[in-house]
Amino acid sequence: MGKIKEEFKSIVSELLPNGGTRAVLLIGSSKDTDYAKNKLSDSLVKGNPGCLWIEMDGGHNNSPETLMANFARSIKGGDAFDTKALGLFGRKTGRMLASSVNQAPDSSSEIAESTNPPTRAQMLIQNLDELAGSTLDSVHSPAPILCFHNLSSYSLDMIDWICDELNEAMRRSNICRNARFVFTDTKQSEKCDRFFNRFGFQRVKQVRVSPVHRKQKQEIISLTSTKELKKIMNSPKLSTSMQDQKQKNQNPKKELDFSSFSEKHQKYILLACLPHFINRDTLEYFCSPTDAAYCYNWLLRTKNVAQPAHENFFVLNPSIKKSAREALRTKDPKAEHKEILASVLDKFMEYFPSPELHWVPVNLQLFSSFSRELLKKLFDDDRFEIIDNFLANNEEVFSKEQKLLSLQEEPKLITRRLLELTDLEPLEGLSGKISAQWEEDQLLYDSQKKSLESERLAMEQEIEEIKGQIIHFSQMRDQLIDGSSNPNAYRPKKNFTFSLSLPLVVIGLTTIGASLFSDSIGSYHAACGLFLTFIGFFWPNIEIQKPEFQTAGGKPKLAVETQQRSFNHRISGLVNRASSLKESLTTVDGNLDSLNTGAQSPYLSS
């Protein structure tokens, strides 16, 4: 909490005329930046009599004319500026916008010196110069602060007009030389950076706005306003007004009695007592747009009936609300239905506080799950951009599983209950488009699944083949290494075999036969015949066998090393290829899992 206080005080001091910061970008959710912007403007205007706070919202200014009209309506000044002077500035700007022909300014101005007719931006800034010149004295220096709210919501045409025409007019102005700039957005984007570069900002201080609870908001307000309040409390004018207010508060029941209002105004109060946060959009849940406008305008003009809340909302005085609810139950037969609707609407507003964006959850509750890619197919570009920003600013009400989002159960039930009680309904034909898109995506999922499974099978087969090649080349490399280290194992070898020698067999048999038929040849010759015959049948042969893989010891060492490096290179290439295939296989498996998840999850909620 202390850090938030110090940061807020630092921004206020740096944006004052003597501060060192010219431009500040507040980054955060739309609710938090809107709150910080409002408190920043209050602190700057109260703390600097010569301050002029001018606010323009990118979500509502789609043309230069609407921006200039908003420029004139939103302007508020410090104590040095009279409300009549501010009103005169607004009327002059309105007449200027209503005129179809640009009116030339006074000859004393710098713009009149140009030969070209002045643009509307130049005339707007000239009116601002005249306002400051006619109101401020030499003591108070002018300090205009321009706030561009929701910067990324400005269209490209509006960005061009601001950076070119409005920027040029401000650079010619004396009062705008000391101007300060406050920008708000949900995130820092390239669109913001391009705008800052084109406008001429060398450095823009970025401040991330932290979510602030209600109690913390009250502490911040009291912190930034303490010094100013002490000065105001000591002034005699305030003491008189406080005494008057004290006298009014001494009898609050008389002033805030429901029965003291006219019948017409009682109808407005009976209408306003239903929603907690009151504006035209929330009132239209209970009445026609015309009645809602009349009721809201009456609350805007009437004091003590309702107090301002955030943005353009009011909160009805609790005592009036209590008595109005009691009167509603006795007068309106539909009171029970309206009170139920009011309680559901209040709960719905807790999750989705911007009525202009209520159509987003009304449509998103149709989905069981969705992705941003799916939403881009179902909605046009303008609606998708709004929905995308809505998702970024309301992440706490959505559940996320992988890339799929879904509205949480309680917000979804509240939204559907609100649809039951009101005429709200999703976009026409959206349910049919969701079902058709799901069926179309199923066919696409099946095709992609078959393709991925085929790709995975091919990768697995290739990995197995690579394993076999690695084993083969490893064995050849090891054989080469063994051969180079032990050359004797690969020298030529002698193999001994036995075969038939026909001449010796014939001689041996002849000698044996002769010894049998001749007395002159004795047993000695018969034994020699037997020996020759035996030798003839088992005659030894010697064969020299060469090895199939010749890596003899005499082979050059350089050749062996070259072959070894070649094998290592082949093996390394195969290993790298296998690793790459495994990574691709992991990616394919992940895509298959994601595809199965997306295919199994229905888009349309039951």
Domain ranges of the chain: 2-211, 257-421, 468-584
Helices 120-135, 83-98: axis angle to 10 degrees equals 160
Task: Find out whether 271 and 306 touch, Cβ atoms under 8 Å.
Answer: no
Q: What was the pLDDT predicted at 215?
A: 44
Residue type at position 421: L
Query: What is the pTM for the complete model shown?
Result: 0.44
What string of DSSP letters covers 464-519? HHHHHHHHHHHHHHHHHHHHHH-GGGGS-EEEEEEE--HHHHHHHHHHHHHHHH-S
Burial zone of 147 (CB within 10 Å; 0-12 exposed, 13-18 middle, 19+ buried): buried
Decide: residue 151, CB within 10 A, 0-12 exposed, 13-18 middle, 19+ buried. Answer: buried
Half-sphere exposure of 45 (CA within 13 A, CB side): 19
How far apart, in whole angstroms, are the C-alpha atoms of residue 278 and residue 325? 15
Give the pLDDT confidence score for residue 142 in this predicted structure.
76
**Three-state secondary structure call for residue 518:** coil
**Cα distances (Å, whole numbers) of residue 523 to 516, 527, 529, 555:** 9, 6, 10, 59
β partners of residue 544 = 494
Angle CA 26–31–32, to nearest 5? 45
CATH topology of domain 2-211: Rossmann fold (3.40.50)
Task: State how beta strands 180-185 and 23-27 pair.
Answer: parallel
Return the bridge partners of 185, or none: 27
Give the number of other Cβ atoms within 10 Å of residue 115's Cβ: 4
Q: What is the C-alpha separation between 56 and 44, in angstroms, rounded? A: 17
What are the DSSP E strand ranges found in 46-135?
51-57, 76-77
- What is the spatial distance between Cα 548 and Cα 237, in angstroms, rounded to a whole number? 118
> 3-class SS at 419?
helix
Give the chain's end-to-end CA distance (angstroms, integer). Answer: 44
The predicted structure's pLDDT at residue 213: 52
| pLDDT mean for each 10 residues of the chain (606 residues) | 59 76 87 85 82 85 82 84 81 75 42 61 87 67 86 87 90 84 88 87 84 50 41 42 42 60 91 92 91 91 85 87 92 92 93 90 92 91 91 90 87 94 91 89 81 86 89 82 61 74 81 75 77 80 65 58 82 88 85 66 76
Amino acid at the residue 478? D
Buried b (16+ CB within 10 A) or exposed e, 187-212: eeeeebeebbeebeeeebeebebeeb
Residue 554 burial (C-beta neighbours within 10 Å; 0-12, 13-18, 19+): exposed
CA distance 48 to 46: 6
| Bridge partners of residue 182, in order along the sequence | 24, 147
